[in-house]
Structure 1
C-alpha cells in the first residue's frame, strides 16, 4: 500500500469530479438545517448558543476524514443534548459559564476517549444489544422529556427545574403568568415549520424561520414586549478549552451513557442511509471516528456529538455523494462564527425552543409502537418500559433501563427455546409443527418427532428437558426422535442432559434417536458418552432417513416392532 493510500480517506482517493456539485449543494442544504438545530440543542444542554456552532464545525471535519459513512452528518442531536444537560446540570449546579465550559470539555473528552477505547477493543457489536423496540421506547421517552423541558421557553415562564412531574406541575401552576408575545412567536414558528414540512419539504425550514424571527425581533422591538433573546454571541474562532480530569470521577457514568447513545444513533443513521453502491458502514471504524470527533471537539468548545438521523436524511436527499458534503457544512458553520455571530444576539429563545420541539416530536412515533404491538405484545411492553424509564427515572437511567430490558429480552429468548412436536404434510417430505389447524397431517404410531430450535446450553438445557418430558409422556411413543437440524450448537451441559434423558427413556422402554445434526453438533455428540450409547445406527441425516428406517422396521417385523 502506498503512503498516500494509507493516510488519505477512501472517498477522497476515489473521488469523481462529477460528484462535486452534488456534494456542495448537499452540504449547503444540510448546513441550513444543521446550524439552527445545533444552536437550539446547545440551549437544551444549558450551554451558550455558540457551542452549537463549534459542534457543527470541528466534529464534522474530523468525521469526514475518518468515518466510514459517506452521508452521515455529524454534529449533535436532541438525545445527546438532553443527556449532556443532565450531566452538566448536576456537575455545575450554579451555572457558572467558565465552570460549565470546563465541565463540557471534560464530558466531551471522556465520551471521545471511551469511544476510541471501544474501537480499539472492537466493541462495535455492542450497538446490537439495544433492540429496536427498546430504542423506539427510549427515543419516545426522550421526546417527552425534551418537550416538557422546552415548555417554559415556549410560554415565557421561569421556574426551577426538577423531576418530570415537578416540571409538569410547575408549568401548570405558572400558566397564569405566561408571556402572550412569547407564546405567539412560538406558535407562529411551529406553524411555519409545519407549513414548510407539508408544502416545501426540501426548503431549509429551520434557517428560514430563525432568520424570520431575528428580523421580527429587530423590526418590532419584540424584546420590549417580553420576548427573550439569546444575547451577545462572541464572534470568531473558539478558544482552547482544557478539560479538568478531576471531574472525571463525577462525569464518567454520564459519559458512558452518552458514548453508547452517540454510537448507537450514529451507526443506525449510517446504516439507514447507505447506498447499495457504497461501502457498508463499519461499526468499529464508526466508533473511532465519532470518538476522535468528540475528543477533537472537546478542546475547542464543542459539546458531545454524533450522527443525526434527520440531518443525515437531509444531506442524503439533497444529493450527498461523499463526506465532502460534511466539509461544506462545517465551512458554513465556520463562516457563521466569523461573520454572522452578531445577528445571533437577536435570536429568540422561543423560536429555538420551537425548532427543538418540532424536531423532537418526530422521535415519538405512535406508528412504530402500533407496529410493534401488532407483531409482538411482549416487545411492545419492553418499548413502554424503556419509555417510562427515561421519563420517570431520567435519561441516563433510561439508557440503563433500555440496556437491562434488552439484555433481559435476549436472555429470556435464549433461555426459552421452542420445542415442537412434528407431523408430516401428506404426500410431501415436509414436516411442520403439530397443530389442530392441520388435522390431516400425518403422525406415525409409536414414533414421536420433536424439533428444538436454537443453541442448547447450560442456560436453557433444563428448560428444553422440561418441555420435552410432557410431550413424551403424552405420546406413548417407543421411539423419540430429536430433530436437531435447527440446533446450531450443543454444549456440555446440554449433552449431559441428553445422556440422562436417554437413560430415563431406555429404562421406560423408549429408544432415543437423533437426526439432522450439523457437523459441529455431530462432532460434539461423537466425542461425548452419548455418541457411544447411540452409535451410528441411532443418528440419522434427516427426518426422511428416520422414516425410511422406521418403515423398514415396521414392514419387517410388524407394527409392534416399532414399540420395542
Structure 2
C-alpha cells in the first residue's frame, strides 16, 4: 500500500461535497437510534457492561472514518462476535472471581484483533477471507444464530442460567421456566414482536428505537420493579486506558483473536463487496483490513471490545441517504453528547428488551433458505454447512470457527484429491472432443483413448491419476492422450509418478501423450527432465493435432 492510501479519510475530506451534508446528518441521527440499543445489547451478549457497547461504537466509528476506505460501511459491536468474545472472556472472569476484569480482557482482545488486522493489511493478506467458504460460513452463522437465540431466552423470561454451550442453555432454560417473571416476558416478547413486525412490514421504520422507547415507558409508568433494568450509565467520554493481563491470559486471548479476525475479515469483505457493487465501486481488501484494524485498536484503548462490519446498520445508513463516513461521525458525536449531557436517559431500559434486540439480530442471522438451496443444488456442500453448524452447536463458538476453517480447507483438498476425470469422444454434429458421460454415443478411435483429469497434478492426487491411467491401459490402446488443459501444475511427486508410469506403459507398448499442456507446466516438465522417458514428440498443442498424428502413424 502506498503511503497516501493509509489514511483514506483525508482524501475523502478533501473531496467532500457540501451538498452531501444534510443527508449525512439525517442518516447519522437515524443510525444513532440503532447504534445505542444494539451497542448496549451486544456488549451484554459479550459478557460486558452495557456502557462498553457505547464506548466501542464511538471509537470504532471515528477510527474507521479516518482509516477505512468505504464511504458507507458502518462498523460497531456485532452479534456474531459477541458469543466469541464471551467464550474467552467469561470463563477467565468467573475463574478469577473479579467481574471487573472483563473489560480489560475484552480491550486486550480488541487490541490483538486490531494488531492482527493491521499486520495482515501491511502483508497484503486480504485473501485470508477465502479460508471460510460460503457453505461452511453459512453453517457456522446458522449455528451461531441458534446458539445466540437460546442463550438469550432466559434473559427474555427474566432469569439467568448457569452453563456453557447450546445444549446447556436449552436445558437451563427448560428447567428454569418456573422462575419466569411475567412482566419481563411481556416486555421482552412485546418488544421482539414490535421489532420483527416493523422489520417485516415497515422496514424503513426504526423498529428497535420504537420497541426500546416503548419498553422504557412501560417500566417507568407501570412501576415494574421486578424487571431488571440497565441502571445509570457513567457520565462522560470513555477514558484512555492501557489494559493489562497476564501472559497466560494473553495466550488464550491471542488464540481467540485469530478466530475473531478471520470472521471479521470475511464478514467485512462480503458486506463491503455487496454495497460497493451497488455503487459501482471496487473493494480493496487490504485497505478494509487496515480500517478494521484501526477501529479495533481505538476501541481497545478506550475500554471497548472487538468490532466488525454490520450489514444491517450499513443498510440502515444507506437507506437513510448516507453519502460518506460523516454519517458515522455524526453517530459517534450523538452518542458522546448523550453520555455527556443525559447519561440517565437509558437507565430504565429493561434487560429483557436488550435480550429481544439480540434475539431479533440472531433471527436475522439465520439463513434457512440458504441451507435448503445447498441441499437442492449440491449435497456435499450442504454436508459441509451442516458439519459447521454441528461444530458450533456441540463444541462451542470458538471451536466451531476452527471446525469451519478446517472443513473449508479439507474441501479444497478433497476436490484436488479426487478431481473429476473422464474419457473424451467426438460426438456427431458437435465440434471438438467432449465428456463420454455427456455424449455416450460419441465416436472413439480404435487404439486411442483421450483422458481428461480436471485438477493440478500434485502429490495428493498422483496415485488417483496413476490408477485411472492403469485402468484405461487394460483396454490395450496404442496411445493414451492426456487432455491436459485443466492441469495447471505438476509437482515433483507427480513428476516421479509420470516417469514411472510412462516406463510401465512403454513396456506394454503404450505411449503416454499430452495435448493442450500449458506452457508454464511444460517448462516444469522440461526442468524435471521427464522427456528422458516421455517422447518429446508426444506433446501436442491441441487434441486435433494429437489425433491427426495418431492417424498419420496408425491409420484411420
1:154 aligned partner: 156
Contact 2:72/2:318 (8 A) holds in 1: yes
1:402 aligned partner: 404
2:369 aligned partner: 367
TM superposition shift of 1:97: 4.7
Q: Secondary structure at the match of 2:169?
A: helix
**Take 1:3 and 1:80, find their aligned partners in 2: how far apart are those partners?**
31
TM superposition shift of 1:196: 0.6
**Take 2:273 and 2:165, find their aligned partners in 1: how far apart are those partners?**
35
TM superposition shift of 1:219: 1.2
Q: Secondary structure at the match of 1:481?
A: strand
Query: Map of 1:410-421 to 2, 5 A cutoff?
Result: 410-421=412-423
Q: Secondary structure at the match of 2:240?
A: coil
Gaps of 5+ in 1: 560-564
Could you list the per-position Cα deviations for residues 405-454 of structure 1 after superposition, in whole angstroms to 9, with x for gaps in the alignment?
1111112112222221101121333221112x533311111110011122
2:476 aligned partner: 476
Query: Map of 1:129-528 to 2, 5 A cutoff?
Result: 129-223=131-225, 226-246=226-246, 247-275=249-277, 277=279, 279-435=281-437, 438-473=439-474, 475-528=475-528
Tell whether 2:75 aligns with 1:74.
yes
Q: Secondary structure at the match of 1:162?
A: coil
The count of corresponding residues between Structure 1 and Structure 2 is 552
1:540 aligned partner: 540
Q: TM-score, normalising length from structure 2?
A: 0.94
**Take 1:455 and 1:44, find their aligned partners in 2: how far apart are those partners?**
46
**Take 1:493 and 1:484, find their aligned partners in 2: how far apart are those partners?**
17
1:51 aligned partner: 52
Q: Secondary structure at the match of 1:275?
A: helix
**Take 1:121 and 1:182, find their aligned partners in 2: how far apart are those partners?**
50
Contact 2:6/2:67 (8 A) holds in 1: no
**Take 2:517 and 2:258, find their aligned partners in 1: how far apart are those partners?**
43
Contact 1:241/1:299 (8 A) holds in 2: yes
What's the C-alpha RMSD, in Å, of the aligned pairs? 2.2
1:24 aligned partner: 25
TM superposition shift of 1:331: 1.8
Could you list the per-position Cα deviations for residues 513-543 of structure 1 after superposition, in whole angstroms to 9, with x for gaps in the alignment?
1100111012222333322444443111111
**Take 1:186 and 1:290, find their aligned partners in 2: how far apart are those partners?**
33
**In the superposition, relative to structure 1, how do residues 192 and 6 fare at CA in structure 2: closer, same or farther (>3 Å)?**
closer
Answer with 536-545 or 12-21: which moved more.
12-21
Could you list the per-position Cα deviations for residues 248-278 of structure 1 after superposition, in whole angstroms to 9, with x for gaps in the alignment?
1342222222222222222221122213655
Q: Secondary structure at the match of 1:149?
A: helix
TM superposition shift of 1:8: 5.6
TM superposition shift of 1:150: 0.6
Contact 2:499/2:534 (8 A) holds in 1: no
Q: Secondary structure at the match of 1:167?
A: helix
TM superposition shift of 1:111: 1.9
Q: Secondary structure at the match of 2:321?
A: coil
Answer with 495-504 or 124-133: which moved more.
495-504
Could you list the per-position Cα deviations for residues 459-508 of structure 1 after superposition, in whole angstroms to 9, with x for gaps in the alignment?
221222122221332x3311110011111112222222112211111111
Q: Secondary structure at the match of 1:92?
A: helix
Contact 1:214/1:343 (8 A) holds in 2: no
**In the superposition, relative to structure 1, how do residues 71 and 410 fare at CA in structure 2: closer, same or farther (>3 Å)?**
same
**In the superposition, relative to structure 1, how do residues 165 and 428 fare at CA in structure 2: closer, same or farther (>3 Å)?**
closer
TM superposition shift of 1:42: 0.8
Q: Secondary structure at the match of 2:276?
A: coil
1:84 aligned partner: 85
Answer with 400-409 or 311-320: which moved more.
311-320
Contact 1:67/1:290 (8 A) holds in 2: yes
**In the superposition, relative to structure 1, how do residues 544 and 281 fare at CA in structure 2: closer, same or farther (>3 Å)?**
same
**Take 1:5 and 1:381, find their aligned partners in 2: how far apart are those partners?**
42
TM superposition shift of 1:546: 1.6
Contact 2:235/2:339 (8 A) holds in 1: yes
Q: Secondary structure at the match of 1:56?
A: helix
1:562 aligned partner: none
